[in-house]
Amino acid sequence: MNRQPYTLPSRRWSPKLQPRVVRWSRRLRQRTLKHSQQLVAIESLGLERLTAAVRDGQGVLLVANHAAHYDWAALYSVADRVHQPLYFLTAWQVFAMSNRFHRWLMPRIGCFSIDREGADRGAFRRSVRVLCNESHPLVVFPEGEVYHVNDRVTPFREGAAAIARSAARRSARPIVALPCAIKFWYVDDPTASLLKMMERFEQRFGIRPPAGAPLVDRVYVLGEVLLSIKEEYYLGETDGGSVRERIAHLTESILSRLEHRHLGLTVTNVASLDTLARVQLLRRKVIASRQGESDVYRLQSLDREMDDLFFVVQLFSYPGNYLRQNPTIERLAETIDKLEEDIFGVEVPTVHGRRRVIVSFGEPIPVSDDRKHLPSNGQLTQQCAESVQDLLDQLNAERPQQLASC
């Protein structure tokens, strides 16, 4: 996963959507996808659902899985076909870490910033105004991060649902949430390139796999080595059990220690929160603790705690059964991509061959303005997540994947 600065935003970036800039940038975006990411085919399903909702004057909140770092560009390529500009709710860190040209371009193709670690009322109000008044859809990736698990939807945050519900209460027009699934496949067999990357990992940590060992097994051996190193650091000893159990134990150990320090809570006080919600709560506390702090050693300690929280999110991104359960070549490649980011610190992982992507739009989910029938944030979030997962399952069922026997 990519490291990002977790502090108070240096500034805010407002949308300055200009359809002529969207048209002008189309070739640039397509060229990047083709040459840098080797995307040779971008297909769409159900695009008429998007165009019909816009044509009928509805406020459209497009909720999509965060499949890859460049999924937004693939989605925009599909929207280009019907001349539909889009707004994107974008983490402020993306702006801050971009070059000067991209910081100029992003607002003009519809991106605007949000502080995901805080209560960003400005971004919230801006999003509600887009849904209430603008003729262009608002795109939100409720997963927040790119976890490189393209077959599974990771927990949706409730911010998107809160925006839709607020807009439904205020808008004179209907508001809908439109589920969108983005799924990538390899056109070329990436095995040779994946093997080379695996050899680099093994050389880095002095691992010598048995001759002829399947690549999937080698990935798990590497994972256990990396997990053992972290267990020795955080726990003082190597843990027992399955990879999944060890990840859960290490995660709980780190989070409970930080919660006790910053919140005065025991594990039972946050039992209702999932891992990512606990991380977000702690990040807010650490960021607040850094404000006005002048002691160098205290600041270094807080920075280490932020690193600990980043590591917890890294652990979360490795579901222990994801690869074993269905060892397709895509899942294998996703796992190796993630390892490359985590081990070598690359911003975007190596492209291992030509790929294609399908962007599939589901049935719109009406967000009623009737307070008696208005779903809660949790209900709408769950409905959106299940709809996106259903779309992914349908895509995988219609396009059977080759098992990774390498």
The full set of domain ranges for the chain reads 19-187+354-398, 191-344
Q: Which is nearest to 128 in space by CA: 159, 166, 92? A: 166
CA-based angle 62:66:71, to the nearest 5? Answer: 85
pLDDT tens digits for the chain (406 residues)?
Answer: 888 888 888 789 999 999 999 999 999 999 999 999 999 999 999 999 999 999 999 999 999 999 999 999 999 999 999 999 999 999 999 999 999 999 999 999 999 999 988 789 999 999 999 999 999 999 999 999 999 999 999 999 999 999 999 999 999 999 999 999 999 999 999 999 999 999 999 999 999 998 899 999 999 999 999 999 999 999 999 998 888 999 999 999 999 999 999 988 655 567 688 999 999 999 999 999 998 899 999 999 999 999 999 999 999 999 888 999 999 999 999 999 999 999 999 999 999 999 999 999 999 999 976 655 667 899 999 999 999 999 999 999 987 554 444 4
Strands (DSSP E) contained in 115-257 are 138-140, 175-186
Torsion region of 360: left, alpha or beta (phi above 0 gives left; psi -120 to 50 gives alpha):
beta
| Rg for the chain, CA atoms, rounded | 22
**Considering the entire predicted model, what is its pTM?**
0.93
For the domain bounded by 19-187+354-398, which CATH number is listed? 3.40.1130.10
- One-letter amino acid for residue 88 of the chain: F
Predicted confidence (pLDDT) per residue in 322-381, tens digit = 999 999 999 999 999 999 999 999 999 999 999 999 999 999 999 976 655 667 899 999
Asked if 8 and 93 touch (Cβ cutoff 8 Å), the reply is no
Alpha carbons 14 and 217: distance in angstroms, whole number: 47
Helix (H) or strand (E) holding 386: helix 377-398
State the burial class of residue 41 (Cβ atoms within 10 Å of its Cβ: 0-12, 13-18, 19+): exposed
Mind listing the pLDDT tens digit for each residue in 243-280? Answer: 899 999 999 999 999 999 998 865 556 768 899 999 99
Measured CA to CA, the distance from residue 56 to residue 177 in angstroms comes to: 14
CA distances from residue 371 to 284, 375, 376 in whole angstroms, order as listed: 31, 8, 10
The answer to whether the beta carbons of residues 395 and 366 sit under 8 Å apart is no
Q: Which of 14, 66, 8, 88 is nearest to 276 (CA)?
A: 66
pLDDT digit string, tens, across residues 106-120: 999 999 999 988 789
